[in-house]
């Protein structure tokens, strides 16, 4: 029998599932005090919380029997993940449960600004009857551009298609086959979407790649009189640039549910001066149905985790220690670093990834593949990725994963090689662990190198002629960037070379521009490991 404690209010639908499970002894105390919680937590195997209850080190030190922490929602800011992981406690949450709620809120904001419903409502409250003042536009026949065709974006697309709108989408991580199933055209570039769209709506995560993705240049590309909706994440849009676009008359209607600062500060509140703006206080998940789905999902996840079954939405994933684990720890670290390197070097927009493991470590193929995928996905997702959910997230994105094992290699007995393919192009990275303890990246495309996968790495392709390194060194020295290490690989004298520099500090845009101005340098990328 597993004892489960619920310390915050959740929907009756989730409680019912827990109560009907014969192996669960449920205690529902949504108003429990912190002092009482600390006193009784030692007897429980699982705790389900929302944001009210801090699952911190103090609590976890007393939770001697705790196996699972269930967060009824997406965010886990109130959970000490490191401490939970160190103690082998699984943390699960409920992503995706608010998909329909977020999609419907998007449509609500869109119709509000298209038909000026909020303004007409205020006018009526003031005793007016001014029909001419509220001439609107129809969604029928318009081109809706969806940035991010994930769960919510797909639901928005379905609803816009039902309104007879043309729907296009930009999402470099979604296969075109998904667009075909939805009747949505997947465009190649963000610029193309912005140029063609009458309505632009955001449904992508906030990552380093998407932060300020919509800035001054992007607003300039948009049509005059565009309708702009953001019910995704604050921070994807540069709100200063958004304000300028409003001032210039670029935008006909604006719908916002999220903000870079919540509650909005005075800088953001400048936007509220715009007349045709529909606002809400981050309520995408605030529906009775969404809360039911959250409760049901977290209840099922906690039950599955307690029973040792597969958990789809694990936030952390303590690796099961098997025989020989200590001997492959360095290779698991290498696998994750190679996956991250691959994404940052190759862009991450791959349709197929083949992971080949050579030598005696091949018997640990599955965990190595999981760590590669964890590293591959982490830079491009705003949710926690672990070795349990990484393979499923990759599959969800339409990435074909191929696994292979081989006998010991000629150059290295144990070796991990990743070949990523997209539209006939291959990107290859590979490495080994020296003395089974020191991870090293040894192969990039066809170039042999030897690089420690750590810190700031500048990788460049250049013409193999004298003076390139000198010019690069002068640029870095001028900006007080120290070179910690340098590797050079080439296939043939006088052709192309691959340079890999380990740096003490990150580069900025100014430095990058100077590097790319060196005539012999063809390509340069910064990788953070």
Q: Which residues are catalytic?
A: 233, 262, 282
Return d(Cα 348, Cα 418) in angstroms, integer: 13
DSSP element (H, E) containing 332: helix 325-346
For helices 325-346 and 365-377, the axis angle rounded to 10 degrees is 30
| Residue 401 and residue 391 in contact, taking contact as beta carbons nearer than 8 Å | yes
CA dihedral 264, 270, 271, 276 (to 10 degrees): 120
Return d(Cα 258, Cα 269) in angstroms, integer: 12
CA angle 126, 128, 134 (to 5 degrees): 110
For helices 117-125 and 99-115, the axis angle rounded to 10 degrees is 70
H-helix segments, 422-527: 468-478, 509-516
DSSP element (H, E) containing 525: strand 521-528
Residue 281 CA: distances (Å) to CA of 50, 96, 243, 257, 350: 19, 20, 19, 6, 37
Nearest of 162, 108, 110, 156 to residue 140 by alpha carbon: 162
CA angle 516, 517, 521 (to 5 degrees): 55
Greatest extent of the chain over all pairs of C-alpha atoms, in Å: 85
Return d(Cα 310, Cα 385) in angstroms, integer: 15
Return d(Cα 181, Cα 175) in angstroms, integer: 11
Nearest of 525, 506, 504, 500 to residue 515 by alpha carbon: 525
Return d(Cα 283, Cα 258) in angstroms, integer: 9
Return d(Cα 380, Cα 387) in angstroms, integer: 16
Q: Sign of the C-alpha dihedral, residues 231, 233, 237, 243?
A: positive
Return d(Cα 191, Cα 217) in angstroms, integer: 10
């Amino acid at each position: 029998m597993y004892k489960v404690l619920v310390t915050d209010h959740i929907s009756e639908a989730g409680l019912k599932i827990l109560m009907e499970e014969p192996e669960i002894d449920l205690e529902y105390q949504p108003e429990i005090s912190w002092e009482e919680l600390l006193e009784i937590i030692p007897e429980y195997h699982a705790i389900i919380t929302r944001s009210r209850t801090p699952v911190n080190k103090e609590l976890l030190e007393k939770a001697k029997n705790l196996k699972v922490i269930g967060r009824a929602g997406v965010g886990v800011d109130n959970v000490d993940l490191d401490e939970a992981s160190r103690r082998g406690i699984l943390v699960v949450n409920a992503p995706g449960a608010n998909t329909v709620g977020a999609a419907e809120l998007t449509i609500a904001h869109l119709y509000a600004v298209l038909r000026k419903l909020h303004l007409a409502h205020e006018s009526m409250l003031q005793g007016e009857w001014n029909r001419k003042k509220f001439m609107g536009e129809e969604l029928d026949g318009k081109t809706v551009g969806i940035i991010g065709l994930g769960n919510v974006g797909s639901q928005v697309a379905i609803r816009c298609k039902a309104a007879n709108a043309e729907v296009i989408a930009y999402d470099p991580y979604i296969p075109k086959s998904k667009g075909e199933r939805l009747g949505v055209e997947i465009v190649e570039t963000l610029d193309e979407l912005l140029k063609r769209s009458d309505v632009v709506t955001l449904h992508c995560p906030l990552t380093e790649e998407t932060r300020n993705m919509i800035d001054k240049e992007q607003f300039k590309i948009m049509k005059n009189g565009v309708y702009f909706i953001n019910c995704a994440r604050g921070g994807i849009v540069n709100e200063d640039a958004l304000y300028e676009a409003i001032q210039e008359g670029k935008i006909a209607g604006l719908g916002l549910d999220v903000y870079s600062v919540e509650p909005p500060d005075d800088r953001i509140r400048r936007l509220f001066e715009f007349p045709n703006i529909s606002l809400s206080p981050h309520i995408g998940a605030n529906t009775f149905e969404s809360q039911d789905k959250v409760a049901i999902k977290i209840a099922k996840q906690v039950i599955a985790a307690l029973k040792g079954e597969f958990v789809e939405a694990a936030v952390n994933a303590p690796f099961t220690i098997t025989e020989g684990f200590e001997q492959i720890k360095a290779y698991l670290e290498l696998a994750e670093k190679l996956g991250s390197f691959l994404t940052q070097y190759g862009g991450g927009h791959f349709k197929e990834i083949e992971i080949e493991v050579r030598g005696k470590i091949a018997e640990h193929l599955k965990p190595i593949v999981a760590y590669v995928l964890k590293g591959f996905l982490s830079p491009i997702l705003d949710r926690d990725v672990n070795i349990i959910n990484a393979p499923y997230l990759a599959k969800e994105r339409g990435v074909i994963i191929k696994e292979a094992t081989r006998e010991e290699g000629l150059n290295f007995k144990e070796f991990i090689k990743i070949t990523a393919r997209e539209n006939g192009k291959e990107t290859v990275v590979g490495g080994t662990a020296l003395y089974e303890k020191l991870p090293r990246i040894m192969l990039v495309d066809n170039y042999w190198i030897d690089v420690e996968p750590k810190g700031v790495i500048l990788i460049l392709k250049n013409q193999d002629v004298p003076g390139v390194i000198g010019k690069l060194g002068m640029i870095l020295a001028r900006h007080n960037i120290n070179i910690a290490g340098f590797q050079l690989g080439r296939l043939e004298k006088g052709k192309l070379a691959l340079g890999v520099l380990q740096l003490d500090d990150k580069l900025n845009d100014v430095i990058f521009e100077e590097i790319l101005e060196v005539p012999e340098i063809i390509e340069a990328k910064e990788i953070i490991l």
